[in-house]
Structure 1
């Protein structure tokens, strides 16, 4: 799965009805509904603010709303676009301004589907990967060479504390953990041990 990293917009006009779809990163159903409420305020002159969202490591937590459009013509088609995109942790909202010509149920389904696709077409994303959360400590004389290796292994530090030793707490891609373990073992002749806190898909 991939996660959306920045908002994107798609806009189209169908038989004088204007559609603006926005894809916005979120990390929970509560945040998705909060974004939807803010979109309703932002587009308070729009007739309908439809939404579809998916959150979680597999996109399994989902929701959608037609927001007054005929049942099944708006939120559900947009949710299908979200599911088929392979992207999670996002909400797609769509505002529609009626142009005086009825689109019919089939026309609405096509329009909401297409505007959601436009919003996600070139969306900036990153791949989810398993990250290892770890703690370890090392002597001061190993600090500089270790920092250099940590950067090479994409280690993200949460905390560094300096007492009798330098204590590191952070995360790195799970695939890089064996290489870090070998580096520290070789560096310290086996005296530095890594404490694995957990592995999480992030």
Structure 2
């Protein structure tokens, strides 16, 4: 599965109706509801703000709404596009400004689908990787070697320099055993390494 990196926006026009698609990362339905409300507030003149969302590590949680468009002409076709994208933890909202011409059910399905496809084309994504967070306490004399090791293993670290160096690092789970072993060896067993809760 893929996950979004940042947000993206795209716009299409169909018979003078504007369809503005906004894609943004989410991980829970509460955040999704807040983002939809915020988008409505930013577009008070819009006729509709339909949405579709996929969440969960395997993309098994769904949400969609036609927002007063005829049933299954907006949110459902948007969701079908998302399901086919291989992306999870993603909310797509399509803001519609009515252009005066009725599009019919087929026209609406096509327009909402096309707007969703357009925003996915410009959305940046990355592979969803299982990650873990470690808290590592080491002496200063091995800090540079440990820092280099963590960078090599795609670690994202926050450092606290006191009597010892405390490093809180998030890295792919597949490297945890190797990193733990190497730091234990570098420190001759004096390092403290705690496995914090999984970050994803």
Q: Do the structures match in fold with TM over 0.5?
A: yes
Q: Please list every run of 5 or more consecutive structure 2 residues that lacks an aligned counterpart in the other structure.
A: none
Matches within 5 A, 1:1-202: 1-158=1-158, 160=160, 162-163=162-163, 165-192=164-191, 194-201=193-200
SS at match of 1:19: strand
TM-score, L = length of structure 1: 0.87
Residue 99 of structure 1, CA deviation: 2.3
Residue 199 of structure 1, CA deviation: 4.1
> Does 110-119 or 27-36 show the bigger shift?
27-36
Residue 193 of structure 1, CA deviation: 5.8
TM-score, L = length of structure 2: 0.88
Q: C-alpha offsets along residues 93-114 of structure 1, whole Å, 9 cap, x if unaligned?
A: 1122222322111111111111
Paired residues in the alignment total 200
SS at match of 1:102: coil
Contact 1:5 1:125 in 2 (8 A): yes
Query: Partners in 2 of 1:108 and 1:198 — Cα distance?
Result: 45
CA RMSD of aligned residues (A): 2.1
SS at match of 1:171: strand
Residue 197 of structure 1, CA deviation: 3.3
Q: Please list every run of 5 or more consecutive structure 1 residues that lacks an aligned counterpart in the other structure.
A: none
In structure 2, the CA distance between the partners of 1:195 and 1:103, relative to structure 1 (3 Å rule), is: same
